[in-house]
Amino acid sequence: MITNQELEHKGDQFPSKIVSFNQDVDSIYFNTDNNVILKITILRDSLIRFRYTTKGYFSNDFSYAIDKTQSHGYNQLEVIEESTFYLIKTSKVFCKVNKKNLKISIHDIDGFTILEDEIGFHWEESYEHGGNIVKMSKMSKDGESFYGMGDKPTHLNLKGKRVENWATDQYAFHKDQEPLYKVVPFYIGLHHNKAYGVFFDNTFRTFFDFCHERRNITSFWAEGGEMNYYFVYGPKMADVVTTYTHLTGKPELPPMWTLGYHQCKWSYYPESKVKEVTARFRELKIPCDAIYLDIDYMEGFRCFTWSKEYFPEPKRMVAELAKDGFKTVVIIDPGIKIDKDYWVYQEALAKGYFCRRADGPFMKGKVWPGECNFPDYTNPEVREWWAGLFKELISEIGVKGVWNDMNEPAVMDVPGKTFPYDVRHDYDGNPCSHRKAHNIYGTQMARATYEGVKRFAYPKRPFIITRSAYSGAQRYTSSWTGDNVASWEHLWIANIQMQRMSISGMGFTGSDIGGFAEQPSGELYARWIQLGVFHPFCRTHSSGDHGEQEPWSFGQEVIDITRKFVELRYELLPYLYTMFWQYVNEGTPMLKPLVYFDQEDFHTHYRTDEFIFGNQILVCPILEPNALGRRMYLPKGNWYNYWTNELTEGKKELWIKTDFDQIPIFIKEGAIIPKYPVQQYVGELQFDELTLDVYYKLGKEKSTVYEDAQDGYDYNKGRFSLRTFTLNGKEKELIIQQHKEGTFETGYSNFKINLKALPFKVKKVEVDNEKISLDSLKLNGENTLVLYKDFTELHIIGA
């Protein structure tokens, strides 16, 4: 424990005693003798905001991260004054505020301490920049674990680590490297089977220390701005994550084609090369939905232009690709080439839309096009202008998605790899320096891009992908994890990053499959595809300055493995889309680390490799060369091996044998997994059958399938189809009940039901109380049954 004397010695200051307090509806203000004010706001019974100022008044309350459309409300709020503390009570937690020193502690309703200040809020005046370095320290509990924080390339459990948040272009980053591209100052603590979250909504450079410097202390601090954090109580990790995601917002449903497989490289050009690549996919029958054009499609890297030499007729090419089932996605970077003959530059210059240095000149920096100026996306007028620039690309040329890169923002050949601190930003009418706007710059660029693409793609849905992001960016964009490396270690990192992003509210994320820098072996590429098809965003990308990185670049065996796994992804599209729908509606992460799945099981707290894809499929990648299988941990429940249909009881470690064309995949007992036929791209086939893989269970299990028109906004008017299946297995009986919601008519009317691992011989089948002939039952190792109509109850009776 650090004493106040020691603190003073370090130049830190801390709040003195409380001299007054008052309540204003959902907010309680505590004023100290030395001008500190703590404002506590109750947003929900389990969501409380803590805001501190040392000036005696608060600055304008503004956040880019918080989703203002989300509603809040609580059941109970009571403020009680005791002799040494104030007590704030909601129906979920108690919060104590110490009268002597403003220290906070938060307890569950049984009085158990969840989170408690050590020094609590303290600060150091920043004589260099003005303002304060704001700090917070908390006691950490025995056996506490930490999760979240976005894209950190380190062990999933952050205990013992210190991390830094400063969006950085980190080419070929390595394990444990800090900082990376994204900034998600949100962590989840878990101790005594209770989870809570802290979201420190401060866009300055921030640090989090999880018992790294001092064994029992967690701390976080920012190089400026306010101490402003949200506390979320679980006790289930699921409640923490969904509440955080609710607070910072959820995306809209993406068009279904974005969940297909995407192919990218730096760069495919000219047009003939693009066509050669897309043709090869169709020829080899490896499904693919999107082809990406990296910076070389432009004229001298000028955004919103096309190279006349390489792409003389973009509209025709994009249309031809579309005819073959390929959507075209193009890159757009923030750097605008300084070129007096370039219209985008001219417009921004005339309107004064570029960021300026403190003393007036425009911020100038080198990126791909050479010297550039950079739009200030934190200015709403600039965002509006930027959105308008997409008109031609989207509504005329027919591009379907936009890829925003280099938006940390990245600047070449300067030590900090970004803007100098003095650069000015509008920050939506709260003018500030780059120290405050840096971490949000990429998100505001992606937001402006999203607004433009959405406007011109309407009535279709937009698709944006970004490299840099701050909390809340998920409302506008998907993301990828930047310039990784073709190494086995990076496969491990990708697996962790995607789980971490998922529980950090930013689920629509993927890695560059195969690795961006350096050349993967065929084996590594195959292993990466096998994992990548289970990531929400699934794209192969590479820097192109080494060998080839298309699925066919590694010989026949890898082609076959790639096809097999990409086909599996396409079969699972309705399952994946349903996962997405749950994310959009409930904030449920699409990938669930084992600790999220079963926080009560201590074994899960340090697991990194296995994760749950959606709710009922467990995936465990192979992360080493020459592996014939691997040791892994199966969490609670009973699980069917996807390849053998063998049932295994969970909560134990086991060895799973897999060949090169397999990775361990398990299906939760009782699950009903919906499948579409393999298509070469989303919407290729009209089909009249939905396959349901039914995994028998003695007992009950619920499964859902969400469908709609796969694009457009009709689903907001109720035109969706939500099927909820309840499976109830008995010793010699299996009942599947279906409940339907929504007015969308799915294109199929038949159901192909694969009864997996049925423990009895079928004697009788009834559909909605009508007996059907057993001739429709095929005994093909398992029992397959085709129903030629929709059903409410399917009853399978054994001999």
Smaller CB separation from ligand GLC, 314 or 369: 369
Distances, alpha carbon 166 to alpha carbons 134, 409, 419, in Å: 16, 11, 12
**Nearest distance, CB of residue 264 and ligand GLC, angstroms:** 8
Q: Is 252 a catalytic residue?
A: no
> CB 256 → ligand GLC: shortest distance, Å?
24
Is 405 marked active-site? Answer: yes
CB nearer ligand GLC, residue 480 or residue 613:
480
Least spacing, CB of residue 633 vs ligand GLC, in Å: 34
Residue 302 lies near ligand GLC (rule: CB under 6 A): no
At its nearest, how many Å lie between ligand GLC and the CB of residue 368?
7
CB atoms within 10 A of CB 87: 14
CA 677 to CA 685: how far, in whole Å?
8
What number of residues does the chain have?
A: 799
Looking at the Cβ atoms of 467 and 697, the one nearer to ligand GLC is 467
One residue of 294, 523, 550, 598 binding ligand GLC per CB under 6 A:
294
Q: Does 405 bind ligand GLC (CB under 6 A)?
A: yes
C-beta of 168 vs 203, nearer to ligand GLC: 168
What's the Cα-to-Cα distance from 118 to each of 4, 104, 159, 225, rounded to whole Å? Answer: 11, 9, 17, 21
- Binders in 305-334 for ligand GLC, by CB under 6 A: 331
Nearest to 666 by CA among 757, 751, 736, 588: 757
Work out how close the CB of 178 gets to ligand GLC at its nearest, in angstroms, rounded to a whole number: 18
User: Cβ of residue 498: shortest distance to ligand GLC, in angstroms?
Assistant: 17
Q: Of 144 and 512, which CB lies nearer to ligand GLC in the complex structure?
A: 512
Please check whether residue 344 is in contact with residue 304, taking contact to mean a CB–CB distance below 8 angstroms: yes
Tell me the closest approach of the beta carbon of residue 486 to ligand GLC, in angstroms. 14
**DSSP state letter for 247:** H
Work out whether strand 539-540 and strand 793-798 pair parallel, antiparallel, or are unpaired. Answer: unpaired
Query: Closest separation between CB of residue 266 and ligand GLC, Å?
Result: 4
* Closer residue to ligand GLC (CB): 451 or 483: 483
Q: Which is nearer to ligand GLC, 408 or 598 (CB)?
A: 408
How many chain residues touch ligand GLC (CB under 6 A)? 9
Q: In the complex, what is the shortest distance from the CB of residue 180 to ligand GLC, in angstroms, rounded to a whole number?
A: 12
Q: Which of residues 330-369 bind ligand GLC (CB under 6 A)?
A: 331
8-state DSSP, 267:
T
Set 376, 408, 512, 571: catalytic member: 408
Contact 18, 97 (CB under 8 A): yes
Nearer to ligand GLC, 218 or 479 (CB): 479
**Residue 398 corresponds to which tokens in the numbers above?**
């027919």
Nearer to ligand GLC, 254 or 482 (CB): 482
> Is 482 near ligand GLC (CB under 6 A)?
yes
For residue 484, the minimal CB distance to ligand GLC (Å) is: 9
Annotation marks residue 201 as catalytic: no
* Backbone φ and ψ of 516, nearest 5°: -80, -55
Q: Where in 4-103 does DSSP place strands (E)?
A: 12-13, 18-24, 27-32, 37-44, 47-53, 78-81, 85-89, 93-98
Among 483, 598, 610, 711, binds ligand GLC (CB under 6 A): 483
State in Å, rounded, how far the first CA of the chain is from the last one: 70
458-477 mask for ligand GLC (x: CB under 6 A)? Answer: ---------x----------
If the CB atoms of residues 369 and 462 are measured against ligand GLC, the closer one turns out to be 369
Which one among 266, 643, 760, 791 touches ligand GLC, defined by CB under 6 A? 266
Cα(114)–Cα(695) distance, rounded to whole angstroms? 40
Burial readout 500-534 (b: 16 or more C-beta within 10 A, e: otherwise): bbbbbbbbbbbbbbbbbbbbbebbbbbbbbbbbbb
Nearer to ligand GLC, 208 or 297 (CB): 297
Contacting ligand GLC within 514-573 (CB under 6 A): 541
Shortest CB 176 distance to ligand GLC, Å: 20
User: Beta-carbon neighbour count of residue 606 at 10 Å?
Assistant: 14
The answer to whether the peptide bond before residue 409 is cis (omega within 30 degrees of 0) is yes
User: Helix 380-388 to helix 343-351 angle, to the nearest 10 degrees?
Assistant: 160
Residue 295 in the binding site for ligand GLC (CB under 6 A): yes
Contacts of 142 (CB under 8 A, 6+ apart): 191
Read off the tokens for 384: 């509006």
The residues near 781 (Cβ < 8 Å, ≥ 6 apart) are: none
3-class DSSP state of 396: helix
The 199-238 contact track toward ligand GLC, x by CB under 6 A, reads ----------------------------------------
The catalytically annotated residue of 45, 118, 483, 669 is 483
**Residue number of the CB atom closest to ligand GLC:** 266
Kindly state the tokens that stand for 724: 């909820």
> How many whole angstroms separate alpha carbon 231 and alpha carbon 30?
18
Euclidean distance between CA atoms 348 and 424, whole angstroms = 16
Question: Which residue among the candidates 45, 239, 405, 598 is catalytic per the annotation?
Answer: 405
Q: Which is nearer to ligand GLC, 21 or 266 (CB)?
A: 266
Q: Is 262 in the site for ligand GLC (CB under 6 A)?
A: no
Distances (CA, A) of 400 to 392, 451, 463: 12, 14, 7
Q: How many helices (H) and strands (E) does the chain have?
A: 13, 53
The residues near 355 (Cβ < 8 Å, ≥ 6 apart) are: 362, 363, 373, 374, 375, 376, 419, 423, 424, 425, 434
Reduced to 3 states (helix: H, G, I; strand: E, B; else coil), residue 85 is strand
Nearest approach, Cβ of residue 607 and ligand GLC (Å): 30
Rounded to 5°, the CA angle 707-711-714 comes to 75
Burial 705-715 (b: 16+ CB within 10 A, else e): bbbbebbeeeb
Hey, which residues are catalytic here?
405, 408, 483
Judged by the rule CB under 6 A, the positions of this chain that interact with ligand GLC are: 266, 294-295, 331, 405, 467, 482-483, 541
